[in-house]
Chains A and B, each alone.
Chain A
Amino acid sequence: MVEYKKQYYPGASVVSKNRQKHMDPTKELEKLREVSDEDVVLIMGHKAPGEAYKSVHPPLEEIGEPDCPIRELVKPTDGAKAGDRIRYAQFTDSMYFAPSTPYVRAWMMHYRYRGVDVGTLSGRWIVEARERDVEKIAKDLLETEVYEPALCSMRGATVHGHSLRLLENGLMFDMLRRTELGDDGNVYYVKNQIGEPLDKRISVGKPLSEDERTKRTTIYRKDGSEKETIDKEVLDFIQRIHKSRSMAGFQLNI
């Protein structure tokens, strides 16, 4: 029997390959910028840097867990071990070739991380997890290729912007103006994700070129790098799913 190799997503187009890469945990996401742990905490805005994590239960070691095969099988995350509360990180991705999209983020999260609860909408995507875990996730999401400083931003509320035209300086619209383009070409967070002003400006680097964006994106657009409205293999696959589901629902003997 031929060994099954997980494909993650249909298609061989640029967009399909990018989706496959985002989802495949064996492939390392390219790190494009450095954001310090302290700055990640500041942007998230759930606690002050250095402040102790608030907990909702004692550490698991102190509780003494019951004898349970599932608990033996599923190892707790660091945040769960410590009893951290659940907090969130939320991102908005522009439709103008941001590297990720809400569903791709959700799929990626389930393949790459544990102990996460994601919410997928059209204009934003949220991940909730134990606080120290979500901080690590947010750091990954800010530093790697799934983030583009002008086209992505962390927004806890008033997320409007994903489908709006870009500002004249190229940034995605944000009613609360949480980020700004510096004279040095870098994008800076000046407010945290919920819109509270920060005491310092936090750089998340320079926006990518349009050419680079279209090579890295996970949205199929007819004005993308391959001028492809959707990958043919993806299209066939969706039609097959739709047809199969329809037939299954129709058959009275199922």
Chain B
Amino acid sequence: MVEDKKFIKALSKKFAEDPKGRKMTKVGLGIEQSARKKEFKEWGEKISKERGISGYDPMAHLGGIPLGQRVLMPYKLSTTDTYCEGDDLHFVNNAAMQQFWDDIRRTVIVGLDTAHNVLEKRLGKEVTPETINEYLHIINHAMPGAAVVQEHMVETHPGLVDDCYVKIFTGDDNIADEIEDQYLIDINKLFPEDQAKQLKEAIGKSLWQAVHIPTTVVRTCDGGTTKRWSAMQISMAMIDAYRLCAGEAAVADFAYAAKHAAAVDLASILPSRRARGPNEPGGLQFGILGDIVQTNRIYPEDPARASLEVVAAGTMLYDQIWLGSYMSGGVGFTQYATAAYTDDILDDFTYYGVDYINKKYGGIGKAPATMDTVLDIATEVTLYALEQYEEYPTLLEDHFGGSQRAGVGAAGTAISCSLATGHAQAGLSGWYLHMLLHKEKHGRLGFYGYDLQDQCGSTNTFSIRGDEGAPLELRGPNYPNYAMNVGHQGEYAGISAAAHYAVGDAYVLSPIVKVTFADPSLKFDFSKVREEFARGALREFYPAGERSLIIPAR
């Protein structure tokens, strides 16, 4: 049993009352209890005065009854000691959250092998470590938007695009040794030995470019721009580095390779009813998110922690940004999503599961992936989680509502099943058993749309035929049943990742994605998602894509 509940510290600070007390004493305090709401009010008044159009006015809430009739409580970013206000976790108010998504959307991974084959076999050019380093020198000049071939070209201000660069990686240590350190993502240095071995075996001798175009470009355009921008600059850099004819047909091979044949998007395009280009959140598979997040590299002995970081990343991206804004609009989704990464609640449920697994099955990844295992672990963790809500009224009150309880309870349950078995489908099965149990025990679950997929989820858990199911790693936000329901997708990403982290896999779905996001030069540190979100909440995170160089000082 977990003796010290992980969520007690946060609850005690948030409510400043007995966490087990059933009566609330602070009622009707209004927005004055919140520094952030007061700040909003001041700015609302200032802006209204300056522009002559009314704006933020808390008294407009429900005919003059402002927010804060109950406690407007702070939130603790789980595993950190940072407390912030809920508003600080909306992505509009959090620069780290914005950069998290910007860093994914502006990334494309482009193979170099096709281009090198064209150079050597068709054009008779010699490709050596020296020429590759020279190419990298040129591409790091060109990729942000600088000219390399033509006269009379405009260029982008380097100070506006300083987050843009290209590095390369390979599974071949001999080739890697020849690449200048500034351009190399060094697998041996960044990953634990056993993970590095797995990654290098998977990648082999192939060479890959991790391309990160400027944040400001994807913000002005979209994720579909990334590989187009990248391909143009790669083609130009090839011409410069290898002294090619700018007009000959062979150059088209570089463009085709960079834009299509050797380009790996992070996310696929979506059908017309949710139309978005590549590298937009709706096409980002759950398994890929498990590879983008890097915590399993830093804490290989703590797969639960790594899984929880994926949940945090996923709920922020899929719920707050994708469903909450791309698909729906408004601000409500943030309140749903934050429950999964604040106040150590999901952490408590998950580590309870880990404790149970260790005692009953002799360790993580050792239980048989059977229905009996799922029934056992899922029932145990579900009842534990629901009983905590009964025993600690402040825990119940911490969440906005039942969807959060359902999402957090099911995530703890499912991650436990994944960790026990090393099987993502077993984890998913635990999720749906939780939902059925939860609904019957408390007589309520989420809201109508929320419950939809959970009522029928048991049935499609082990279906793998197209349009009926898929291994969880390959499912994503556009999977039929998952396409519009908050409080699920980020958790699913965590469940699929947990299965792999449990058995020591270096990657969930893609070794090249894993290596690309291990790069310490990225603006966002993907190994500590919640800490970075906390920095954003505290206004300590410095993002890319700022425009201060080209606008008047305020």
Q: Which A residues have a C-beta under 8 Å from some C-beta of B?
A: 19, 95-96, 100-104, 119-123, 157-158, 160, 162-168, 173, 175-176, 195, 218-223, 229-230, 234-235, 238-239, 241-243, 245-246, 248-250, 252
Task: Decide if A239 touches B433 in the complex (CB within 8 Å).
Answer: yes
Question: Using a CB-CB cutoff of 8 Å, which residues 395-437 of chain B contact chain A?
Answer: 396-397, 399, 401-403, 405-406, 429, 432-433, 436-437
A-B contact pairs, 14 of them (CB 8 A): A95-B442, A96-B22, A122-B403, A123-B401, A163-B405, A165-B396, A168-B23, A173-B70, A175-B70, A195-B62, A222-B387, A229-B383, A242-B458, A250-B462
> Residues of B contacting A220 with CB < 8 Å?
440-442
Size class of the contact patch on chain B: 35 or more
Task: Decide if B462 touches A219 in the complex (CB within 8 Å).
Answer: no
Task: Decide if B440 touches A230 in the complex (CB within 8 Å).
Answer: yes
Given contacts A165-B22, A173-B27, contact A122 B441 (CB under 8 A): no
A175 to chain B, nearest CB (A): 4
A158 to B397 alpha-carbon distance, docked (Å): 16
Task: Decide if B458 touches A249 in the complex (CB within 8 Å).
Answer: yes
Task: Decide if A243 touches B371 in the complex (CB within 8 Å).
Answer: yes
The one of B21, B69, B443 in contact with A175, judged by C-beta atoms closer than 8 angstroms, is B69
The one of B27, B397, B447 in contact with A167, judged by C-beta atoms closer than 8 angstroms, is B27
The one of B23, B429, B451, B463 in contact with A165, judged by C-beta atoms closer than 8 angstroms, is B23
The one of A166, A222, A239, A241 in contact with B390, judged by C-beta atoms closer than 8 angstroms, is A222
The one of B432, B444, B451 in contact with A101, judged by C-beta atoms closer than 8 angstroms, is B444
Task: Decide if B62 touches A242 in the complex (CB within 8 Å).
Answer: no
A19 to B442 alpha-carbon distance, docked (Å): 12
A243 to B432 alpha-carbon distance, docked (Å): 10
A-B contact count (CB 8 A): 147
Task: Decide if B371 touches A246 in the complex (CB within 8 Å).
Answer: yes
Interface membership of chain B positions 364-383, coded 1 if the CB is closer than 8 angstroms to chain A and 0 otherwise? 00000001000100010001
Task: Decide if B65 touches A175 in the complex (CB within 8 Å).
Answer: yes
Given contacts A102-B443, A242-B433, contact A229 B461 (CB under 8 A): no
Task: Decide if B397 touches A121 in the complex (CB within 8 Å).
Answer: no
9 further A-B contacts with Cβ under 8 Å, apart from A176-B62, A229-B441, A230-B437, are: A120-B451, A121-B401, A121-B444, A122-B403, A122-B447, A164-B24, A165-B394, A235-B379, A243-B375
A181 to chain B, nearest CB (A): 13
The one of B22, B63, B375, B469 in contact with A239, judged by C-beta atoms closer than 8 angstroms, is B375
Nearest CB in chain A to that of B376: its residue: A239
> Residues of B contacting A95 with CB < 8 Å?
396, 442
Which of A157, A165, A252 has its CB near the most chain B CB atoms (within 10 A)?
A165
The 5 closest A-B pairs by CB, nearest first: A122-B402, A101-B443, A245-B458, A249-B459, A250-B462
Is B301 an interface position by the 8 A CB rule? Answer: no
Given contacts A222-B390, A249-B461, contact A238 B437 (CB under 8 A): yes
> Residues of A contacting B396 with CB < 8 Å?
95, 163-165
Nearest CB in chain A to that of B68: its residue: A175
Task: Decide if B24 touches A173 in the complex (CB within 8 Å).
Answer: yes
Is B391 an interface position by the 8 A CB rule? Answer: yes
Nearest CB in chain A to that of B63: its residue: A195
The one of B399, B436, B448 in contact with A120, judged by C-beta atoms closer than 8 angstroms, is B448
> Residues of A contacting B394 with CB < 8 Å?
165
Given contacts A121-B444, A158-B62, contact A248 B459 (CB under 8 A): yes
Task: Decide if B448 touches A119 in the complex (CB within 8 Å).
Answer: yes
> Residues of B contacting A123 with CB < 8 Å?
401-402, 444
> Residues of A contacting B258 with CB < 8 Å?
none
Question: Using a CB-CB cutoff of 8 Å, which residues 446-481 of chain B contact chain A?
Answer: 446-448, 451, 456, 458-463, 465, 468-469
> Residues of A contacting B387 with CB < 8 Å?
222, 229
Task: Decide if A219 touches B437 in the complex (CB within 8 Å).
Answer: no
> Residues of A contacting B63 with CB < 8 Å?
195
> Residues of B contacting A243 with CB < 8 Å?
371, 375
Is B386 an interface position by the 8 A CB rule? Answer: yes
Nearest CB in chain A to that of B384: its residue: A229
A34 to chain B, nearest CB (A): 27
Given contacts A121-B448, A158-B62, A246-B459, contact A163 B436 (CB under 8 A): no
> Residues of A contacting B44 with CB < 8 Å?
none
A222 to B465 alpha-carbon distance, docked (Å): 41
Is B174 an interface position by the 8 A CB rule? Answer: no
Which of A101, A121, A248 has its CB near the most chain B CB atoms (within 10 A)?
A121
A166 to B399 alpha-carbon distance, docked (Å): 15
> Residues of A contacting B393 with CB < 8 Å?
165
Is B537 an interface position by the 8 A CB rule? Answer: no
A121 to B448 alpha-carbon distance, docked (Å): 6
Is B439 an interface position by the 8 A CB rule? Answer: yes
Is B445 an interface position by the 8 A CB rule? Answer: yes
Nearest CB in chain B to that of A245: its residue: B458
The one of A103, A165, A245, A246 in contact with B444, judged by C-beta atoms closer than 8 angstroms, is A103
A2 to chain B, nearest CB (A): 27
Is B25 an interface position by the 8 A CB rule? Answer: yes
> Residues of A contacting B65 with CB < 8 Å?
175-176
A229 to B436 alpha-carbon distance, docked (Å): 15
A166 to B463 alpha-carbon distance, docked (Å): 45
> Residues of B contacting A120 with CB < 8 Å?
444, 448, 451
The one of A19, A101, A167, A235 in contact with B23, judged by C-beta atoms closer than 8 angstroms, is A167
Nearest CB in chain B to that of A120: its residue: B448
A102 to B448 alpha-carbon distance, docked (Å): 11
A22 to chain B, nearest CB (A): 10
Task: Decide if A168 touches B379 in the complex (CB within 8 Å).
Answer: no
